[in-house]
């Protein structure tokens, strides 16, 4: 395998992991997490389940694809070591991806062995779901960076970046926390189904409702707050790190975020059907990837306008454009 093929392979690995993530969400949304019982890595005590129920097929299929994803990431790391010199960004990101997919498998095993699946509505499950989401997002981020840098993109340099680095870190942290709140909200939608918007509203603002239900209001609220932060960050990045790639990625971030807000409203209106939950999740992964790559590209810029000079630079540019 040469470097060009490795770069394509890295994108394939990322795409396959997104498929596995969507399947995992399908397992949760259909209540199939206990399809293999409390056994791991065996399924109901068997290597291959015989005469399995539908829930067992769904859960067993997820385990098979997760195993395939692990093998692909191992190959990604091995070839990163073979094709790139010591200290190269691809080596570091591929190695981190390997560590994260191992921890992903361990979290999955913990969910099964501790029975944090199916109808379990404990607070402990909420924390496990939050941790799982954070690990998944970090895995997706390093897989995307591996593919990006494998295409001979320059690695970021942090010294001297100033305010834009802090803005990007805040935006990434905000989107990560938004993803966590979305995962817990989706768990509540799965465990506590409602038949109408009126019932959903009543439960959301009820003091006696489960905490997963009462947390529903905070996800859209956080989405608006984080959205403002993301839009400001994209504007600052495009202004201080102008390039074709930052413009393309910045516009992708804004477009995906607006689409996510619209999908979130539709999800509430339709009472969170499974298919829409999956679309919402995949779009959040695409948004996360676009923001991560935007940050990487902005911080790798060879020339830039310091963020604290934008207030002075922008009026001069606007004046220069006037006839």
Query: Are 63 and 173 in the same domain?
Result: no
Q: Are 243 and 263 in contact (CB under 8 A)?
A: no
What is the model's pTM? 0.89
Q: Are residues 16 and 147 in the same domain?
A: yes
CB 152 within 8 A of CB 120: no
Domain identity same for 121 and 185: no
Q: What is the mean pLDDT of the chain?
A: 89
Q: Report the pLDDT value the prediction gives residue 320, as an integer from 0 to 100.
A: 39
Can you give the pLDDT at residue 158?
75
Note the pLDDT tens digit of each residue in 312-322.
444 443 443 44
Report pLDDT digits (tens) over 7-46: 999 999 999 999 999 999 999 888 888 889 888 888 988 8
- Count of domains for the chain: 2
pLDDT score of 225: 96
Are residues 130 and 147 both part of a single domain? Answer: yes
Q: Which residues form the domain of 229?
A: 156-306
Number of H helices, E strands in the chain: 11, 0
For every one of its 323 residues, what pLDDT tens digit does the chain have, with 9 covering 90 and above? 899 999 999 999 999 999 999 999 999 888 888 889 888 888 988 888 887 889 999 999 999 999 999 999 999 999 999 999 999 999 999 999 999 999 999 999 999 999 999 889 999 999 999 999 999 999 999 999 999 999 989 888 877 777 899 999 999 999 999 999 999 999 988 888 888 888 888 888 888 888 888 888 889 999 999 999 999 999 999 988 888 899 999 999 999 999 999 999 999 898 889 999 999 999 999 999 999 999 999 998 755 555 555 444 444 434 434 44
User: Residue 309 has what pLDDT?
Assistant: 53
Domain finish residue from 106, 122, 153: 153
CB count within 10 Å of CB 78 equals 13
Q: Are residues 177 and 141 in the same domain?
A: no
- Rounded CA gap, 3 and 155, in Å? 16
> What are the tokens at 190?
């799965």
CB 128 within 8 A of CB 177: no
């Amino acid at each position: 395998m040469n470097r060009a093929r490795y770069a394509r392979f890295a994108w394939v690995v990322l795409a396959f992991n997104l498929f596995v993530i969507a399947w995992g969400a399908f397992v949760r949304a259909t209540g199939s997490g206990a399809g293999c019982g409390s056994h791991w890595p065996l399924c109901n005590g068997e290597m291959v389940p015989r005469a399995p129920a539908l829930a067992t097929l769904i859960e067993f299929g997820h385990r098979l694809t997760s195993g395939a994803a692990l093998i692909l990431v191992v190959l990604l790391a091995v070839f990163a070591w073979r094709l790139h010199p010591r200290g190269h960004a691809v080596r570091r990101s591929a190695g981190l991806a390997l560590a994260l997919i191992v921890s992903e498998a361990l979290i999955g095993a913990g969910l099964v062995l501790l029975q944090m699946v199916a109808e379990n509505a404990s607070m402990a499950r909420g924390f496990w779901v939050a941790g799982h989401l954070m690990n998944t997002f970090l895995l997706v981020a390093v897989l995307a960076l591996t593919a990006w840098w494998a295409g001979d993109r320059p690695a970021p340099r942090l010294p001297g970046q100033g305010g834009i680095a802090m803005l990007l870190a805040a935006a990434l942290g905000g989107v990560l926390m938004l993803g966590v709140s979305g995962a817990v909200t989706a768990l509540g939608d799965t465990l506590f189904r409602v038949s109408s918007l009126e019932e959903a509203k009543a439960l959301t603002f009820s003091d006696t409702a489960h905490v997963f239900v009462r947390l529903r209001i905070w996800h859209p609220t956080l989405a608006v707050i984080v959205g403002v932060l993301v839009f400001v960050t994209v504007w600052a990045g495009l202004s201080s790190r102008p390039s074709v790639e930052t413009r393309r990625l910045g516009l992708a971030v804004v477009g995906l975020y607006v689409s996510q807000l619209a999908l979130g409203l539709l999800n509430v209106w339709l009472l969170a059907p499974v298919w829409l939950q999956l679309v919402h999740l995949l779009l959040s992964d695409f948004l996360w990837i676009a923001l991560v790559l935007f940050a990487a590209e902005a911080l790798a810029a060879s020339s830039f306008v310091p963020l604290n000079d934008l207030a002075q630079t922008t009026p001069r540019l606007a004046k220069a454009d006037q006839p």
